[in-house]
Amino acid sequence: MTLAPDLFAAVPGRVSLYEVSPRDGLQNENATVPLRGKLRLVDALVAAGLKRIEITSFVSPKWIPQLADADELAEALLAAHPTPQASSTDHLLEGQRLRFSALCPNARGLARARAAGIDEIAVFMSASETHNRKNINKSIDATLAEFEETIGPALDYGMRVRGYVSTVWGCPYEGDIDPRRAIEIALKLHEMGCYQVSLGDTIGSGTPRQTRDIMARALGELPLDSVAMHMHDTRGTALSNIIVGLEMGVRHFDASVGGMGGCPYAPGAAGNVATEDLAYMLHGMGIATGLDLERLVEAAKAAESIVGRALPGKVHQAGIRSLRA
C-alpha cells in the first residue's frame, strides 16, 4: 500500500499564536464585560505566555458597545505591561516581546489607538462583496481605498499593521468564494504594508481539501510569515484544517481562549478555534508555542467566569490529561 512518507516534512518546529479573545471574543458576547473583567482576561493570557494579543477595537461604541472602553483598556494594559515601540523587523516566532494590537476600522480609530499608545493595529475586510457591505457598509474597493488612510499613516508612525480577510472559506450570503479573489485581496493588503494577513474561515464551513487549495495559492503569492490562518470551529473542522496548514508549512494561527467569539454578521458562526485546544494539539506534535498549557486552561476558565457562560473549547473542560491514580 502507498504511504505518504513526507506528510510532516514541512511541519514547522515552532508556531506563533495570535490571541483574539479580548476583541473577536468579547465583541460577540451578548453581555458587556466590565473593564476589570477584560484586564483579568488579558492578564491571564499574558500569564499563559501569549505574546501577541488583540485587545480591542477602536470602533464607534454605537456599532460595538461591548468594546466602548477601548481607550481606557488600552491605556490600562500598556501601563501594566510597558512595551517598547514597534519595529517591523521584530522576529515573529522567536524571542518575541509582548505586543498588544487593536483593530482600527478607519483613520479615526487609528488616531484613538495612537493616543492610547498602541503600536500594532489590524484592519479588517471581507473577500465577499456582500459580506463586506453588510459588515462594514462599503464595497471591497472602497474599503481598500479607505485603508490607504489608515495603513499609510500607521506605518509612518512606526506601527506594525496586520490585515484580516474574512469569509475566505465561504460567505453566509454568497456561498462559495473564489480563492483567487480572496488571495488577490490578501496580496493587496500585504502590498499596502500589512506585515501579515490573516485568512478567515468566518462561518466555520471549511474542509481540508479546500484548505489545501486556498493555502497553496496563498503561499504561492505571499511570504510564509505573512500568512496566518483564522479558523472557526463551527462545524468541528478547525483543527483538521490547521493540520493541513501545518503540513504545508504555515506557522501563524489566530486563536481565542475557550473558543470565545464568532461573527455577529455571519449567522451561525459560533466559535473561534480554542487557544488551549490548538496548543494541546501542537504540543502533542512537539511543536513549540512558548505557551504554558496549564495556564491556558486557567485562562479559559477565567474567561468563562468573566463572560458568565460555558465556553466551547474542549481541553479546558476535559483537562490536559485524564490520568487517574
- Listed in order, strand segments (DSSP E) in the chain are 16-19, 52-57, 99-103, 120-126, 160-166, 196-201, 227-231, 252-255
Nearest to 148 by CA among 120, 189, 117: 189
* CB of residue 205 to a second copy, shortest distance in Å: 6
* CB of residue 64 to a second copy, shortest distance in Å: 20
Q: Is 264 in the site for a second copy (CB under 8 A)?
A: no
Cβ count within 10 A of residue 153: 14
Cβ count within 10 A of residue 12: 17
Concatenating the DSSP letter of every residue in 1-50 gives ----TTTTTT--SB-EEEE-IIIIIGGG-SSPPPHHHHHHHHHHHHHTT-
The Cα-based distances of 180 to 17, 183, 221, 268 in angstroms read: 26, 5, 10, 25
Residue closer to a second copy, measured from CB, 121 or 222: 222
Residue of the chain from 226, 234, 256, 289 that contacts a second copy (CB under 8 A)? 234
**The one segment of 62-70, 150-158, 192-200, 283-291 that binds a second copy by CB under 8 A:** 283-291
Residue closer to a second copy, measured from CB, 106 or 207: 207
> Quick check: 48 and 155 in contact, CB under 8 A?
no
Residue closer to a second copy, measured from CB, 187 or 281: 281
Bridge partners (DSSP) of residue 283 are: none
The count of chain residues that interact with a second copy, using the rule CB under 8 A, is 60
Residue closer to a second copy, measured from CB, 33 or 186: 186
Residue of the chain from 123, 161, 242, 255 that contacts a second copy (CB under 8 A)? 242
* CB of residue 207 to a second copy, shortest distance in Å: 3
Q: Is 269 in the site for a second copy (CB under 8 A)?
A: yes
d(CA 301, CA 316): 7
Tell me which DSSP letter residue 51 carries: -
SS3 240: helix
Per-residue contact flags (x/-) with a second copy for residues 181 to 210, judged by CB under 8 A: ----------------------xxxxxxxx
Sort 120 into a burial class: Cβ within 10 Å, 0-12 / 13-18 / 19+. buried
Q: Could you confirm whether 171 is annotated as catalytic? A: no
* CB of residue 118 to a second copy, shortest distance in Å: 31
**The one segment of 42-50, 109-117, 149-157, 240-248 that binds a second copy by CB under 8 A:** 240-248
**Rounded to the nearest 10 degrees, what angle do helices 208-221 and 238-247 cross at?**
40
Q: Is 245 in the site for a second copy (CB under 8 A)?
A: no
Q: Choosing from 104, 171, 194, 263, which is the catalytic residue? A: 263
Nearest to 280 by CA among 298, 293, 295: 293
Cell digits for 57?
Answer: 477595537
Residue of the chain from 13, 34, 61, 175 that contacts a second copy (CB under 8 A)? 175
> Quick check: 15 and 93 in contact, CB under 8 A?
yes
Residue of the chain from 183, 219, 228, 303 that contacts a second copy (CB under 8 A)? 219
Q: Is 319 in the site for a second copy (CB under 8 A)?
A: yes
Residue closer to a second copy, measured from CB, 184 or 225: 225
Q: Is 166 in the site for a second copy (CB under 8 A)?
A: no
Residues in contact with a second copy by the rule CB under 8 A: 1-4, 6-10, 170, 172-173, 175, 203-210, 212, 216, 219, 224, 233-237, 239-240, 242-244, 247-249, 266-270, 274, 277, 280-281, 283-286, 313-315, 318-319, 321-324
Residues serving a catalytic function are 263
